[in-house]
Amino acid sequence: MIVDTLSGSGRYDALHPRFKKAFDYAVARMDTLAPGKYAIDGDDLYIVISEGLLRPEQEAPLEAHDRYIDVQIPLRVRGEERFGWRPRERCILPRSEFDEAADIVFFDDKPSCYVSLHPGEFVVFFPEDAHAPLIGSGNVRKAILKIRAV
């Protein structure tokens, strides 16, 4: 997991060949896009703009992905969005089998720590990071960059 400000995103360009393109696109366009999914580089890199309600911690299960890295960027938040995190290797209570088509698995394990984000900040969740997004009260407009990991 990485937590930083958008102004510091360039320091992570060397971690993945699509990071620079992803952050450049997001910074230039995310405030102008309507909710929906937008291809940046086909299925290898896309952005989802979403708006919705935040939820209580007990209603936010941990999730993990095999094929994609998640970069979550709050754009507008009424309240405060928190994210739970736990190393995926320490998740032992899967809710169901991994859903290959949706690239997701949910866990009933509890996060080992939490981080709060504000507009201008981002968090990166790699496939080895189980994460619980949308924790809090109020609502959020956010950008989620999906970057093919493999």
What's the whole-model pTM score?
A: 0.95
| Residue 80 in this model has a pLDDT that exceeds 90 | no
Neighbours of 12 (CB within 10 A): 17
Can you name the residues that pair with 81 across neighbouring β-strands?
117
pLDDT digits (tens, 9 = 90+) for 3-48: 999 999 999 999 999 999 999 999 999 999 999 999 999 999 999 9
Tokens describing residue 116: 């709060």
| 150 — pLDDT class (breaks 50, 70, 90) | confident
Q: How far is CA 90 from CA 43, 62, 71, in A?
A: 29, 12, 22
Contacts of 26 (CB under 8 A, 6+ apart): 6, 47, 71, 73, 143, 145
Contacts of 132 (CB under 8 A, 6+ apart): 57, 60, 61, 62, 63, 83, 84, 85, 111
| 2 — pLDDT class (breaks 50, 70, 90) | very high
